[in-house]
């Protein structure tokens, strides 16, 4: 540490007094730089419940200081504790944790009088905010180093058995790439070398003290904080050549109980994975109600900010449809809408299927808008026979450079990728987002979804993408509603893979809410019920349920202008039935014509009685 390195200060919570300390050149037991808390520094009088498990060594040191009289009630600051002598701690984070009584990142919390963080004064330390990382250690050449070494010795390591000695911290990726290419030679494939470069560079040049580090062992996630620089050491078996000191939390977290979005990131198959996008979820693990209350109080003092851990704790919810929505959509019973909501909550994917004109797309959009809380959370796409994965998710598309006007193929996101990116933004993860796919059965679904088909069923996993190579998972708050016209392609033709991934709900003129929809709409519009009677008579003559006519054809204002019903019947309804009976030699007008049906309903006593 430079001779002119300033004294560092730590402000206690809720505008409390200020503690003082200094960084030492001497290293602690696990390789971190030691930190001295100056005598006469104030400390919080109590600790949060999660402190003992989150920073066990700092908790034990604090208890020891109190028991030995080295930290006691302060006469200078009533209601606070005060150190009576200089206290040497293994790391800046341990020092700030002792004073604050909670898990703490001392590299960012200790600051100079003019507001510069302690981290700014450390050589070879990358700039910017702290990150979170997953480093795999449960199967390093067949050994579980998490249990055998990392937790006991306060370390995280990487195997670099062929990497030359003298690789320094902060090395550039270009230099590291050359070293790996030469040192690993024929012992690794091209892809393996690329993975090694990424892992080594993250470990040596991107990680820094104060970062969160995670690892999985025996179905448990262990979380800690990096407390010092990277070192290259000799390792007899080559399993732990690169090392960093870590203060591990005292308890792990069962993997199966972790938030789904965190499980998705942890499933990425790399030795080192950047978890910064879900760092708030990691930080919220084991958070006590008192800590949550402290974060909430801080947010209330500054309404423009909200602690990420509060946002991470927010649960994803779908609002429950009530009678008002059922009345707006002319659905016979709100319980039917609640069932759709429950199906979406359980399966995340739903298909509304039925004959044309049954209001599938309208209902899908209105339901998505209600459940998502607005139009901004809803995106509509329509499938067709030439629709592809590149159109739907991502692919190389011709794009013009706005400056040079040259056209080149560039990786371009499709509607699903765009909506997934929006849904997964920090602050949006508790807000439902909906993708409505109209005519979902008109495309080759296996071709359109590609590897994403797997994610529709296994939402807590991620896959490597075909084009970008990114690890991708569908956000838990992304729901899919598809519509399927059974007259265009029978539902029986849908493959088993899609049936397993979607819940299917029929909208049929035979059953509610579709069977009485037109009659309810006519009553609300204060119109004559004849169109509903005609539609019932028409559908009673159509034997194939998939080709019965839906009510939406007759729910347009043009139907009620002079001659509008006859025009709609002649140009919209009869052509559908002509196509259905093509080649059968049936006189469509004689069987389904408007005069014939009017005559039938005019003589029928029971509207449910089949027409002659």
pLDDT at 5: 64
Asked which of 124-133, 529-538, 541-550 is least confident by mean pLDDT, the reply is 124-133
Query: E strand or H helix at 506, and its extent?
Result: strand 503-506
Query: Does residue 314 have a pLDDT over 90?
Result: no
Query: Does residue 2 have a pLDDT over 50?
Result: no
Instruction: Choose among 38, 41, 36, 46: nearest CA to 94.
Output: 36
User: Please, are residues 110 and 95 in contact by the beta-carbon 8 Å criterion?
Assistant: yes
Written as six digits, the tokens of 575 are 């052509």
Tell me the average pLDDT across 73-96.
94
Tell me the average pLDDT across 407-424.
93
Q: Which residues pair with 378 in a beta bridge?
A: 434
Asked which of 225-239, 290-304, 395-409 is least confident by mean pLDDT, the reply is 290-304
Tell me the average pLDDT across 501-526.
95
Q: Where are the beta strands (DSSP E) in 187-304?
A: 212-217, 220-226, 231-232, 242-248, 253-254, 272-274
pTM above 0.85, yes or no: no
Pairing of the two strands 220-226 and 87-89: unpaired
Q: Which residues pair with 504 in a beta bridge?
A: 351
pLDDT per residue over 134-175, tens digit each?
999 999 988 999 999 999 999 999 999 899 988 888 888 999
Q: Where are the beta strands (DSSP E) in 253-354?
A: 253-254, 272-274, 349-354
User: Please, are residues 357 and 549 in contact by the beta-carbon 8 Å criterion?
Assistant: yes
Higher pLDDT, 572 or 404: 572
pLDDT at 292: 66
Tell me the average pLDDT across 417-422.
95
pLDDT more than 90, % of the chain:
66
The confidence band for 607, taking pLDDT boundaries of 50, 70 and 90, is very low
pLDDT at 104: 86
pLDDT per residue over 204-252, tens digit each?
999 988 899 999 999 999 999 998 889 898 877 778 889 999 999 988 9
Report the alpha-carbon distance of residue 298 to residue 210 in Å, rounded: 22
The confidence band for 602, taking pLDDT boundaries of 50, 70 and 90, is confident
The pLDDT mean for the chain works out to 88
């Amino acid at each position: 540490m430079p001779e002119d390195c300033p004294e560092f200060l730590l402000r206690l919570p809720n505008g409390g007094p200020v503690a003082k300390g200094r960084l030492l050149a001497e290293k602690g037991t696990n390789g971190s730089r030691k930190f001295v808390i100056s005598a006469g520094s104030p400390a919080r009088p109590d600790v949060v419940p999660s402190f003992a498990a989150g920073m066990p060594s700092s908790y034990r040191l604090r208890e020891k200081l109190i028991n030995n009289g080295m930290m006691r009630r302060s006469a200078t600051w009533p209601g606070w504790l005060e150190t009576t002598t200089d206290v040497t701690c293994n790391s800046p984070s341990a020092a700030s944790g002792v004073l604050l009584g909670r898990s703490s990142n001392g590299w960012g919390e200790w600051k100079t009088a003019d507001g510069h963080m302690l981290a700014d004064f450390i050589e070879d330390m990358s700039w910017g905010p702290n990150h979170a990382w997953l480093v795999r250690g449960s199967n390093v050449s067949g050994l579980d180093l998490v249990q055998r070494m990392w937790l006991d010795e306060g370390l995280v390591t990487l195997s670099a058995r062929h990497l030359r000695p003298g690789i320094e911290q902060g090395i550039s990726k270009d230099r590291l790439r050359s070293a790996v290419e030469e040192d690993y030679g024929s012992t690794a494939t091209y892809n393996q070398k690329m993975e090694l470069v990424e892992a080594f560079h993250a470990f040596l040049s991107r990680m820094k003290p104060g970062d969160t580090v995670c690892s999985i062992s025996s179905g448990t996630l262990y979380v800690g904080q990096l407390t010092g620089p990277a070192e290259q050491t000799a390792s007899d078996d080559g399993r732990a050549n690169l090392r960093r000191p870590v203060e591990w939390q005292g308890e792990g977290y069962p993997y199966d109980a972790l938030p789904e979005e965190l499980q998705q990131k942890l499933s990425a198959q790399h030795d080192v994975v950047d978890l910064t996008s879900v760092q708030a979820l990691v930080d919220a693990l084991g958070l006590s109600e008192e800590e949550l209350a402290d974060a909430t109080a801080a947010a209330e003092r500054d309404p423009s900010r909200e602690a990420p851990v509060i946002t991470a704790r927010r649960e994803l919810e779908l609002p429950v449809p009530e009678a008002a929505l059922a009345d707006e959509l002319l659905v016979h019973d709100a319980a039917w809408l609640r069932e759709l909501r429950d199906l979406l909550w359980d399966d995340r994917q739903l298909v509304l299927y039925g004959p044309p004109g049954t209001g599938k797309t309208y209902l899908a959009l209105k339901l998505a808008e209600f459940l998502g809380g607005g139009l901004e959370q809803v995106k509509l796409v329509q499938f067709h026979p030439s629709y592809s994965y590149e159109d739907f998710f991502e692919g190389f598309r011709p794009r013009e450079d706005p400056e040079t006007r040259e056209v080149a193929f560039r990786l371009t996101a499709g509607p699903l990728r765009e909506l997934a990116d929006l849904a997964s933004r920090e602050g949006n993860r508790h807000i439902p987002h909906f993708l409505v796919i109209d005519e979902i059965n008109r495309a080759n679904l296996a071709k359109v979804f590609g590897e994403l088909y797997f994610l529709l069923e296994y939402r807590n996993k991620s896959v490597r993408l075909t084009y970008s190579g990114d690890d991708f998972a569908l956000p838990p708050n992304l729901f899919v509603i598809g519509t399927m016209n059974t007259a265009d392609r029978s539902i029986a033709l849908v493959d088993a893979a899609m049936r397993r991934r979607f819940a299917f709900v029929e909208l049929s003129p035979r059953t509610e809410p579709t069977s009485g929809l037109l009659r309810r709409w006519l009553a609300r519009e204060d119109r004559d019920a004849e169109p509903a009677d005609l539609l019932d008579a028409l559908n009673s003559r159509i034997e194939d349920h998939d080709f019965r006519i839906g009510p939406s054809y007759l729910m347009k204002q043009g139907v009620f202008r002079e001659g509008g019903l006859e025009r709609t019947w002649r140009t919209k309804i009869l052509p559908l039935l002509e196509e259905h009976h093509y080649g059968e030699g049936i006189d469509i007008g004689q069987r389904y014509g408007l005069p014939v049906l009017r005559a039938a309903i005019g003589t029928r006593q029971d509207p449910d009685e089949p027409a002659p």
